[in-house]
Structure 1
Amino acid sequence: MHFGDLAMFQMGAVYVLILITLVLYATEAMPLELTSFWVICSLLVLFHLFPVPDAYGNNQLSAKVLLSGFANPALLTVLALLVLGEGLARTGVLDSVAVFVHTVAKGRPGLAIAIALLVVVVVSAFLNNIPVVVIFVPIMQALASKIGKPSSRYMMSLSFAAILGGMTTLIGSSTNLLVSSALIKLGEPGFEFFSFTIPGLVVAGVGLIYVMFVQPLILPDRVTYDGEASGTSAKQFQAQVKVIAGSKLDGMASVSGFFPDLKGITVLMVIRNDEQFFPPYDDIVLNESDILVVAATRELLAELLGEDPALLRPDLANAKEYERKQIAQAWHKGEQTMAEAMVKPHSHYVGKTIKQIDFKRASNTMIIGIERRSSMKRTRVTETPLEAGDILLIQGEEQRMDDLRNNKDILLMEWSSSNLPKPYHAKRAALIFAGVVGCAGSGILPTEIAALAGAAVMVLGGALSLERAFKAIDPQIIMLIAAALSLGVAMEVTGGAAFLSHSMIVALGGASGPIILSAFFLLVAILANVMSTKATAVLFTPIAVAVARELNLPVEPFAVAVVFAANCSFASPVGYQTNLLVMAPGHYRFVDYIKYGTPLILICWLAFSLFAPWWYGL
């Protein structure tokens, strides 16, 4: 085959692979990771049989080059940020952000929604936005309920706010990191931490006006037949709490017959030296060794466990203070799980109390609460005879909880299992993340080194177990990014990027730089809603560089256009993962994203098209 014909064949083959990949990503005919794996294998076979030699005869698209995406600094940075985000979520740092929103709003739900969206934008600038959205979904549902609106009015705005926030810094989105990495491979300087923060704030700010003030008015009212879900379990468990010296309960006083400081927790009975007190409580100040029988949701009981495991665990409550601290520290280091289990009919537990079945010794887990369909007597939980159908709230290490599947007396409800937060390590996790942002933002360390070091310290410092760190790493992201990087380098080496850029310039008929930049942004934004944002970013970065070079213009505005446009995945639920996260809570349909996301794409496009030429001096 003639050299020119071979070059055209190689470039055409890459285009065909890209088109097939686009179709497979858009239709999800195969899982995304399987499609990505197929792409990589196809490229390996293609360029092994039809190599692209350099001046020295070496294959420019060898297996080493095509597989280098797996060791790409941008990919490793993304994975490290996922681990950091998991550490912040697991230690309850993000929950404290939610508490801050409620505090600032001072009981005004409408204001709280606006503050929440602003907080999401700010936090998403420095953190993977998936855990941010996960934390704020139930908060937005609860706030919407308080103002008498369905959550469908706000869920999409939540996702879009997170995406807009991710446009403002280098680590705000994996897309940003991939574009920066691709620029370096193409011989251009990569982005610094705040390289595009000013134009990002302009685009995000204009977009946020639509998200905060227009979308809530035009989004559909949708509720399920059962009404709105609260986002958290409303099931009330009866639990037994022992007041520990120095705990937040020690010295807590009743006000107007109740304990307002125990928000969401109903105190059913106070036991002091075998004397029982029932509500309303007249000027009672809780003392060490008082026992409270309370009713609360599992979420609130989980918070109590996280603050001090001794509160709900008699084995710790009866220990000496130094022993209790040692045991509590060991408890915090372990990966603690909470799950629900139902007492089976004809179970040996029926008619026996928690003390009598000696559940802790038999299973190395603790029953911390009981939920019963019928009313329960106000008595110590440990002295309540169990009945068939009782739901037991159980806490213990993951491995011990797995062993409960073999218990013939209870039925473990698999769906109910969730990991408990580790607020004991919250300050440590927050400091680690602040250190990563500080080192990367100031330039003391490159972003990839700061992120990887932070992830390592998060695990070594005990804020996150190694197992949870590995679970935070999504294999789909690894395969998708590696495949996109392989396609990007293949398109660059075969001349496909240069060909497309030249064709685009010719098609625009010698238009000015700002017009070409604007058209380029719109093209990337459209494709970002058809295929993956990450794949779009990697594939169009070489084209952006080629267009800028051919026009003899700065590369940076075209690279930034790729960053912003690829992040404009507002018109499809599959374009960005946060869109999928809010689809079910908001009861959205696919077409809703097209109807209410397309205006935001156009707003961002116009904002960028008007601001970027002036900012970059085009």
Structure 2
Amino acid sequence: MILTIAMFIGFARGKLSVEIVSLMTIAVIAVGLYFFPLEGMGPADGLQLAFSGFGHYALITICALMIMGRGLVVTGALEPAARFLERVFKINLQLGLLVSLIIAFTLSMGVNDTPVLVLLLPIFVSLAARGAMPASKTLIPLNAAVLIGGMATTIGTSTNILVVSIARDLGMPSMPVFHFTPIVLFASMFALPYLWLVMPRLLKDNRVDVSGQQRRFHARLRVGDDGFLEGKQMDEILARLPKEIEFHNAPKGEIQALDRLHVSGPHEAIEAASRELRGEVAPSWVLDRIKRQANALGQDISVVEMTVTGDSRLISRTLPTSGIADLYGVAVLGIHRPNRLIGQKDEYSDGGDMRIGEGDVLLVMGLPENLSEFARSDSLLILEGVRELPRRSKAVLSAVIMTGSVGTASIGLLPIAISALAGAILMFVTGCVKFDRVGRALSAKVIVLVAASIAIGRIILESGAAGWLGQVLSIGLQFLSPAAVLACIMLFVTLLTNFASNATAATVGTPIAFNIASQLGLPPEPLILAVLFGCNLCYATPIAYQTNMLIMAEGSYEFKDYIRTGVPLVVLMVAVLSFALVTTYEM
């Protein structure tokens, strides 16, 4: 218990990194149990307990889910859903967040919490990158909505199934799937407004500020010829394009197919505009050739920024006269023109194409080898920040793999650990995720934190600390009202959940609650439900549940962010659920 409190203080103070505190906790457990082994254990058994978290199925599951989430991102499989939510967020940020919370809550009632969050997590990270609410203000509320929804049915989480199974073994009747759903729906009427209106205000904007302005690239956008824009006025189109896009010498009236529009804006905005206008910012034959080469060689297409030096042959040339595509097989998507000295003017050819000058930055797309050859041969400097384009040809495949993995776990056909591992393997085999890109999907902080939390959970259970706390609790409850008894049991289980694990809380709390009910002459079912609800109130620490850890890296969260937002939610849920249980069972 002292070690658990010390670890909590280390996390909460934030002076040492999460990785250091986690590794120190594991080290203390290993050394301590070597010299002072638990009853029935040898020194080597203590080492096994301390380091068991690194091979635990929960950690393997989290890593596999991270890999599958990475697969959805790099293939662009979630872009349609992200664009739909982006449109909702554009109408109103608060409306977008509310719709998202309701979707997360509803989905998790029938599907295991972890797959639901894995599906939604990349979408919200993508939305944050596109200018919606920052991920640090949405992921903790989203995670809480998933956890509350999972509490509502017996199949919502594996912990619910465990509590119901233990209660049945103790002699209680089976509970149908929606047996206690009305109680949770009542509590959600109080919780969702807190998640929607209060929790985002308690969280910081953890986005990294980009120093200086974004580069604005000039490009020639060729409108598609599929008739999508036929008869539409320019003003109608402007409302649908990103606000960062600027048109230069835009045609008045209707847009015609194959029009070449001079636009400028950041790379992401130009990409969104070309998608909306169903056009291209480079000749289609060049883009098709790059895609064919990438498929044939099994390589990713990259987009890089290159600066034109004074020795480059490109100076004073235009893109059509440079021969870049023919010589190197790359496509220049746009040109960034830095601020010129006073008196200097931009130069254009007779055809209206911009002449390349010293210091210009080219936005170039192609395969890595071709990009390097282009930079080397034409005296260009490659800037930092290489971006790989989504492998959209595998978007459907990655979505099918994720859906199959989630589906088999949600209906109970396979454990989530097995289905997630199978999905990760398929992501590798089919090329949705490359082996050399795995490091980008995994977070070292999450890995060591999971391992430390598993070790703490085991030692709390095997040292007898959890059982001792339960005995002390039962002694004092005889003097309290039924509502206070329910609240104390829920808080006790919540404490175990947030510092040990859901399984530990369920295993220890369910028989304790059953015995307390018989000793105090109370009906056992509401006390068992207090345990079940308490096991799901895992909002106050990142080590409480695996979904808490999944969002930690993406939201750049600290330990105290969970405490600041989670503790008020725990208090709110305990109060409302205790009242609802007392009222429902007329205690």
Q: Same fold (TM over 0.5)?
A: yes
Percent of aligned pairs sharing the same letter = 20
Structure 2 residue runs of 5 or longer lacking an equivalent are: 340-344, 518-523, 543-547
Tell me whether 1:50 sits opposite 2:36 in the alignment: yes
SS in 1 for 2:117: coil
Moved more, 377-386 or 96-105: 377-386
Aligned counterparts of 1:341 and 1:325: Cα–Cα separation in 2: 21
**Deviation, structure 1 residue 81:** 1.7
Letter in 2 for 1:135: S
Aligned counterparts of 1:568 and 1:84: Cα–Cα separation in 2: 27
Structure 1 residue aligned with 2:60: 76
Asked if 1 retains the 8 angstrom alpha-carbon contact of 2:54 and 2:451, the reply is yes
Structure 2 residue aligned with 1:567: 539
Letter in 2 for 1:260: I
1:209-608, aligned counterparts within 5 Å? 209-212=193-196, 219=201, 235-241=215-221, 252-253=229-230, 255-257=232-234, 260=237, 263-264=241-242, 279-281=250-252, 283=254, 285-287=256-258, 292-302=261-271, 311-314=280-283, 316-317=285-286, 326-327=292-293, 329-330=295-296, 334-344=299-309, 349-354=314-319, 366-374=331-339, 384-397=354-367, 409-414=379-384, 416-509=385-478, 511=480, 515-522=484-491, 537=502, 540=505, 543-545=508-510, 547-548=512-513, 550-551=515-516, 557=529, 560-568=532-540, 578=551, 594=564, 599-608=568-577
Tell me whether 1:22 sits opposite 2:8 in the alignment: yes
Structure 1 residue aligned with 2:141: 160
Compute the TM-score of the two structures, normalised by the length of structure 1. 0.70
Aligned counterparts of 2:368 and 2:479: Cα–Cα separation in 1: 64
Structure 2 residue aligned with 1:115: 99
CA pair 494-597 structure 1, distance change in 2 beyond 3 A:
closer
Asked if 1 retains the 8 angstrom alpha-carbon contact of 2:304 and 2:383, the reply is yes
Asked if 2 retains the 8 angstrom alpha-carbon contact of 1:138 and 1:231, the reply is no
Asked if 1 retains the 8 angstrom alpha-carbon contact of 2:539 and 2:569, the reply is no
**Deviation, structure 1 residue 164:** 1.9
Tell me whether 1:97 sits opposite 2:81 in the alignment: yes
Asked if 2 retains the 8 angstrom alpha-carbon contact of 1:335 and 1:419, the reply is yes
Asked if 2 retains the 8 angstrom alpha-carbon contact of 1:268 and 1:294, the reply is yes
Asked if 2 retains the 8 angstrom alpha-carbon contact of 1:355 and 1:382, the reply is no
SS in 2 for 1:566: coil
Tell me whether 1:136 sits opposite 2:127 in the alignment: yes
**Deviation, structure 1 residue 483:** 1.8
Structure 2 residue aligned with 1:274: none
CA pair 328-102 structure 1, distance change in 2 beyond 3 A:
same
Structure 1 residue runs of 5 or longer lacking an equivalent are: 1-14, 143-150, 270-277
| 1:39-95: CA deviation from partner (whole Å, max 9, x where unpaired) | 2233233333333354xx877945444433333222222222212222223333433
Aligned counterparts of 1:36 and 1:28: Cα–Cα separation in 2: 12
Compute the TM-score of the two structures, normalised by the length of structure 2. 0.73
CA pair 534-41 structure 1, distance change in 2 beyond 3 A:
same
**Deviation, structure 1 residue 558:** 5.5
Asked if 2 retains the 8 angstrom alpha-carbon contact of 1:344 and 1:388, the reply is yes
CA pair 27-350 structure 1, distance change in 2 beyond 3 A:
farther
- How many positions carry a matched residue from both structures? 555
Aligned counterparts of 1:582 and 1:298: Cα–Cα separation in 2: 24
Asked if 2 retains the 8 angstrom alpha-carbon contact of 1:239 and 1:370, the reply is yes
Letter in 2 for 1:482: A
Aligned counterparts of 1:223 and 1:21: Cα–Cα separation in 2: 26
Aligned counterparts of 1:324 and 1:580: Cα–Cα separation in 2: 34
SS in 1 for 2:37: coil
Asked if 2 retains the 8 angstrom alpha-carbon contact of 1:404 and 1:412, the reply is no
| 1:273-329: CA deviation from partner (whole Å, max 9, x where unpaired) | xxxxx6325555325xx655443431144458999999445473487xxx7874474
Aligned counterparts of 1:223 and 1:477: Cα–Cα separation in 2: 21
Asked if 2 retains the 8 angstrom alpha-carbon contact of 1:169 and 1:196, the reply is no
| 1:319-368: CA deviation from partner (whole Å, max 9, x where unpaired) | 7xxx787447458x533333434445666654444567766688775432
**Deviation, structure 1 residue 240:** 3.6
Letter in 2 for 1:255: K
Aligned counterparts of 1:607 and 1:380: Cα–Cα separation in 2: 73
Q: Cα RMSD over matched residues? A: 5.4
**Deviation, structure 1 residue 165:** 1.9
Aligned counterparts of 2:474 and 2:23: Cα–Cα separation in 1: 33
Aligned counterparts of 1:73 and 1:183: Cα–Cα separation in 2: 22
Aligned counterparts of 1:405 and 1:195: Cα–Cα separation in 2: 66
Letter in 1 for 2:365: Q
SS in 1 for 2:237: coil
**Deviation, structure 1 residue 208:** 0.9
